[in-house]
Amino acid sequence: MEMATLVINSGKCSWGKCIFCGYGKIYKKRTNRELTAILDDFFANLKDDSVVKIFGSGSFFDEKQIPKEIFEYFVNKCRENKISEIYVESRPQFITKEKILCLKETNAKINIAIGLESAGDKILKTINKGFKLRDFENAANLIHSLDCKVRAYLLVNLPVKNRNAELEKSVNYGLNYADSIVLINLLPHENSEIFDLWIKGEWNFLSKEEFFDITSKWKNNPKIELDVETFKFIPRFRDTKILDGVGEEFLTHPYFEVWQDYLQRWYKKPAGRESVLFLPCSAKKPYSESETHKKILNILSNLDKEKYKSVHQVMISNPGVIPREFENFYPLKSYNWDEKLENEFIKKRYIEVTKKRIIMYLQSQKYNEIFCFLKYTESYEALRLACEELNLDLKNLLKKETYKKMKEERKTSIVCEEALNDLREGMGEI
């Protein structure tokens, strides 16, 4: 039996005030012609007896999102294609007998999902859900009275006290009213208030390991599904201002802190990148557009193709560690740190903070080999101390004698010809 999923981005959620939701605030309204075309494309290649799931960050029964004509068009399409089972989502206030009976004209099994999130009215108020438990119960009873099934979404890791106890209470409650439950790992979407709480340090997401540990008691329950990642989670900011300065504020800025948190507890390096090459930052952003990195990349790109693909490029700077694939993300592309303005205190703090970030990063990624191409200054010292504490081998491809000669000749650029020769030679060892 084939399962097909369609995400219909049509209109904002009529409520749109839940603190954890971002999608419901940003979707633009689509015309009936556009929605019809979307449904036509979706159903074009479906086989008979397929299972169809419709998502839309709001309510499929809300006529402001899905006009009546489009709803009825969807029903006809399901009937024509002999769809065997349908999953749709809605807030309780839009779930009516008329809508359910219309959906039942498809002759498919009907599952109606409701974002319950938690089984506590106080918590529902705290997260600004916009309805109470009795609203969920009334909707569930109506759905069951018409021989359809109820599906409940529950959020793991809400910003509440006694999180685990509240989750267990919610699961037990949900099992009394719902035919199936989805336990969803709450992740910070950029357009949500929960994202702001993450930045402020007032709430944090669960790593995949933490999520599965908390939900392990239900993993074998046939009525419960575990959803660890509902969207591609990468920190995305609405802010655009350049973080320009030297000092504690620009070393431990909240934006840098959440990025390092993400890289340490969620991110996994690309498959096949078994060696890491730590590189310097550059004044020009993104790094790859700077003269420094153009010269470095020119050497790396001339490597054997398989070797090039095995090396993970990671920059070290005041934001922390920055894998090459994130160099175009804010604020990693929008900061300035002038080394000439550093004093001895901030140099020491840079080493302390950066060392800790590198340790956390290396503990989470597991490389076979660790190399760097760095001048023997604060970034290198932080990396050296981190590897020393973790008992990991580190080799700097910039030779000490080359660096000493550079200082004697007052060459400040790491991409002077002597240093680049070291990089060419050193890459042969990876």
CA distance 5 to 45: 12
Taking 3-state DSSP, the helix, strand and coil percentages for the chain, each rounded to the nearest 5, stand at: 45, 15, 40
Q: What is the CATH number of the domain that holds 345?
A: 3.40.50.10630
pLDDT at 27: 67
pLDDT at 56: 85
CA distance 117 to 180: 14
**Structure confidence by residue, pLDDT tens digits, 89-145:** 999 999 999 999 999 999 999 999 999 999 999 999 999 999 999 999 999 999 999
Mean per-residue pLDDT for 232-252?
95
**Structure confidence by residue, pLDDT tens digits, 287-315:** 999 999 999 999 999 888 888 999 999 99
Tell me: do 99 and 158 sit in the same domain: yes
In-domain check, residue 146: yes
Tell me: do 127 and 171 sit in the same domain: yes
Per-residue CA distances from 227 to 20, 106, 183, 364 (Å):
16, 28, 6, 22
pLDDT at 257: 98
CA distance 369 to 318: 24
| CA within 13 Å, CB half, 143 | 29
Tell me: do 247 and 160 sit in the same domain: no
Identify the band that residue 24 occupies on the pLDDT scale cut at 50, 70 and 90. Answer: low
Tell me: do 201 and 268 sit in the same domain: no
Q: By the 8 A CB rule, do 310 and 273 touch?
A: yes
Q: Token pair for residue 161?
A: 């006290």
Query: At 69, which helix (H) or strand (E)?
Result: helix 68-80
In-domain check, residue 233: no
**Structural domain that includes position 278:** 243-427
pLDDT at 304: 86
Tell me: do 184 and 282 sit in the same domain: no
Tell me: do 176 and 220 sit in the same domain: yes
Q: What is the CATH number of the domain that holds 198?
A: 3.20.20.70
pLDDT at 23: 73
Q: By the 8 A CB rule, do 348 and 385 touch?
A: no
Alpha helices in 3-132 (DSSP H): 23-26, 32-44, 68-80, 97-104, 121-126
Q: By the 8 A CB rule, do 139 and 178 touch?
A: no
Tell me: do 202 and 299 sit in the same domain: no
Tell me: do 281 and 194 sit in the same domain: no
* pTM over 0.75, yes/no: yes
Amino acid identity for residue 154 in this structure: L
Ramachandran category for residue 58: left, alpha or beta (phi over 0 → left; psi -120 to 50 → alpha): left
pLDDT at 1: 75
Domain final position from 227, 256, 276:
227
Tell me: do 388 and 417 sit in the same domain: yes
**Structure confidence by residue, pLDDT tens digits, 52-79:** 999 988 899 999 999 999 999 999 999 9
pLDDT at 132: 98
CA distance 138 to 161: 28
In-domain check, residue 235: no
Query: At 313, which helix (H) or strand (E)?
Result: strand 311-317
Tell me: do 284 and 203 sit in the same domain: no
Domain tally, the chain? 2
In the predicted model, is pLDDT for residue 25 greater than 80?
Answer: no
CA distance 131 to 221: 28
CA distance 381 to 352: 10
List beta partners, residue 114: 152
Share of the chain above pLDDT 70, in %: 99
Tell me: do 268 and 172 sit in the same domain: no
Tell me: do 207 and 257 sit in the same domain: no
Domain final position from 227, 257, 277:
227
Mean of pLDDT over the chain: 95
pLDDT at 48: 84
Domain final position from 227, 262, 282:
227
**Structure confidence by residue, pLDDT tens digits, 167-180:** 999 999 999 999 99
- N-term to C-term CA, the chain: 48
**Higher pLDDT among residues 47 and 314, named by residue:** 314
Identify the band that residue 9 occupies on the pLDDT scale cut at 50, 70 and 90. Answer: confident
Per-residue CA distances from 127 to 56, 102, 156, 198, 377 (Å):
20, 32, 13, 15, 47
In the predicted model, is pLDDT for residue 319 greater than 70?
Answer: yes
